[in-house]
Amino acid sequence: MKDITYDVRVYKTEVYKGKKATTYYVRWKVGGELWRKPFRNAAQADTYRGEIQAAARKGEAFSTLTGEPVSWNRAERPEMGWYTFLCKFVDMKWKAASAKYRQDIARALVAATPAMLASERGKPDDLVLRTAMRRWGFNTKQRGEAPGDMADALAWLESNTRPVSALADDPSLVRTMLDLATSRLDGKRAATSTVLRNKTILQNALDHAMELKLLQENPIRGIKWKAPKSTHEVDRRSVVNHAQARALLAAVEAQKPSGKRLVAFFALMYYAGLRPEEAVRLRTHNIALPPLVLNEESGQWEEPAGEWGEVRLDKAAPFAGREWTDDGALREERPLKHRANGEVRPVPIPPALVRILRAHLAEPYGKGLDGRLFSGVRGEELPNITYRRVWAKARRDALTPEEAASPLARRVYDLRHACVSTWLNAGVAPTQVAEWAGHSVEVLLRIYAKCIVGQDEAAKRRISDALKDDRE
């Protein structure tokens, strides 16, 4: 068997004196690869080292995957290779996870796996390995459909990753794996959100290893690790004012062929605070507009002055990709964020948005398949790339070069931030804004703290009034 060897050398125990404790490392080589196992006292280290030496002198076969005599592994604990275990973890999480979270799990596991490779012999190209894991290995739906070279890469992984138990034997291996999972390919630290998400996914994976009796404890929970500082506050520089928003919507409308059909899409984010995945899923039954009124003089039906409408949101459809959704659709219909399945979130729409929506619904493209408000130019589901390109061009056309180079409305999502900031600055109670926006009050105030203007001056005036005796 290629994972068995009789080439074993045992070295002198290494002693590391830390500030709080002394650690004794038993060191030995198996098939040319160095192994280290830590112990808290010298007696335990000497006993373990003696057992390793005794097994080597008897001529026992050693596993290149565990570094220990094969007889130990079979007798003492179940063993499972890292790649095999991760496939089981992915399969366990698949049914309950959203399509986007399935992708997040795959990305985190792909990043961590190089730390658990047991050999470089016959190793496929790094890009091939990453692609095979991300698109097939860590995808329950796709795993059995990997094409030839990708299937070969996955077969190599199955035979050449360390057992999960190696993480319990070598704390440095755990830290290496965590460092890889929280870094980019160039070695630099990943974005804070990615770091925190990937660590959580790895921690959950090793919790599952404990359930399967592959580990006695979660080694990630036992290492010291400093989480990066994170902020969820909206950058005030990204929030457009009303004049800028109107100019951007006009620049969208001027574009061909998709611009005119997307004005209402962007307007729903700016005037009603919808998320893109909420706006793209809207149907005609989600929109309630005030009835038109008859002008007795002209005999024409007209828009009522100052009347508001309402959007009644019941689902969202985030983009995920066909390979990650259960039904093979590009988007996965989900309950609203932070809401139970079937729960509806009503959001008022001001007269300006009422007019935009009514004009949109009057066009041939205003009522697509199944009453869908927004679609691509050929009637298909609205592609992400379409509205992103339209928005990028609108920024170039409507903003000054300085503004276009700044964070101002750089993302489509920034229109939602502008809407919520407008509500808060207009004096709407945070509880009401949170209800409309689909947030908790706590999260709302934390995210939009820097976008509420004028509060500092009002606070200074109140303090001055309280200290008025000092001015006399």
pLDDT at 402: 94
> pLDDT tier at 453 (50, 70, 90 boundaries)?
low
Residue in the structure block whose two tokens are 């009002």: 458
pTM (whole model) above 0.75: no
Is residue 413 a part of any domain in this protein? no
Is residue 403 a part of any domain in this protein? no
256 and 391 co-located in one domain? yes
User: CA distances (Å), 408 to each of 80, 116, 294, 448, in order?
Assistant: 51, 43, 42, 16
pLDDT tens digit sequence for 282-311:
999 999 999 888 777 777 877 788 889 999
CA dist 286 and 341 (Å) reads: 16
Is residue 166 a part of any domain in this protein? yes
> pLDDT tier at 261 (50, 70, 90 boundaries)?
very high
Among 76, 109, 138, where does a domain finish? 76
Kind and range of the H or E run holding 154: helix 148-159
Per the CB < 8 A criterion, the answer to whether 218 and 167 are in contact is no
- 54 vs 231 pLDDT, higher one: 54
Q: Per the structure, how many domains does the chain have? A: 3
CA dist 442 and 446 (Å) reads: 6
18 and 60 co-located in one domain? yes
211 and 252 co-located in one domain? no
Is residue 433 a part of any domain in this protein? no
Over 50: is that where the pLDDT of 179 sits?
A: yes
Over 60: is that where the pLDDT of 454 sits?
A: no
204 and 251 co-located in one domain? no
pLDDT tens digit sequence for 126-143:
999 999 999 999 999 999
249 and 372 co-located in one domain? yes
284 and 391 co-located in one domain? yes
373 and 332 co-located in one domain? yes
pLDDT tens digit sequence for 1-24:
457 889 999 999 999 887 777 888
- Mean of pLDDT values over 47-54: 92
Residue 82: partners with Cβ closer than 8 Å, 6 or more residues away: 113, 116, 161, 162, 163, 164, 166
57 and 110 co-located in one domain? no
pLDDT at 75: 45
Residue in the structure block whose two tokens are 């180079």: 405
One-letter amino acid for residue 468 of the chain = K
pLDDT at 256: 87
- 203 vs 71 pLDDT, higher one: 203
Report the percent of the chain where pLDDT is more than 90.
48
CA dist 451 and 109 (Å) reads: 37
Among 381, 398, 415, where does a domain finish? 398
276 and 394 co-located in one domain? yes
Is residue 14 a part of any domain in this protein? yes
pLDDT tens digit sequence for 76-130:
556 789 999 999 999 999 999 999 999 999 999 999 999 999 888 889 999 999 9
pLDDT at 77: 54
Report the percent of the chain where pLDDT is more than 70.
92
Partnered with residue 9 across adjacent β-strands are: 29
Over 80: is that where the pLDDT of 227 sits?
A: no
pLDDT tens digit sequence for 263-289:
999 999 999 999 999 999 999 999 999
Specify the 3-state DSSP secondary structure of 462.
Answer: helix
Domain that holds residue 51: 4-76
pLDDT at 463: 62
- 375 vs 225 pLDDT, higher one: 375
206 and 300 co-located in one domain? no
- 203 vs 335 pLDDT, higher one: 203
Is residue 235 a part of any domain in this protein? no
pLDDT tens digit sequence for 145-176:
889 899 999 999 998 999 998 888 777 889 99
Over 50: is that where the pLDDT of 35 sits?
A: yes
pLDDT at 452: 61
Is residue 438 a part of any domain in this protein? no
250 and 394 co-located in one domain? yes
pLDDT at 468: 64
261 and 367 co-located in one domain? yes
* Average pLDDT value for the chain: 87
pLDDT at 250: 96
Is residue 426 a part of any domain in this protein? no
Give 134's DSSP letter.
I
Domain with 337 in it: what CATH number? 1.10.443.10
Among 167, 192, 222, where does a domain finish? 222
pLDDT tens digit sequence for 320-376:
889 999 998 888 888 888 788 888 999 999 999 999 999 999 988 878 778 889 988
Phi/psi at 416 (5° precision): -65, -45
User: CA distances (Å), 313 to each of 287, 371, 430, in order?
Assistant: 9, 14, 20
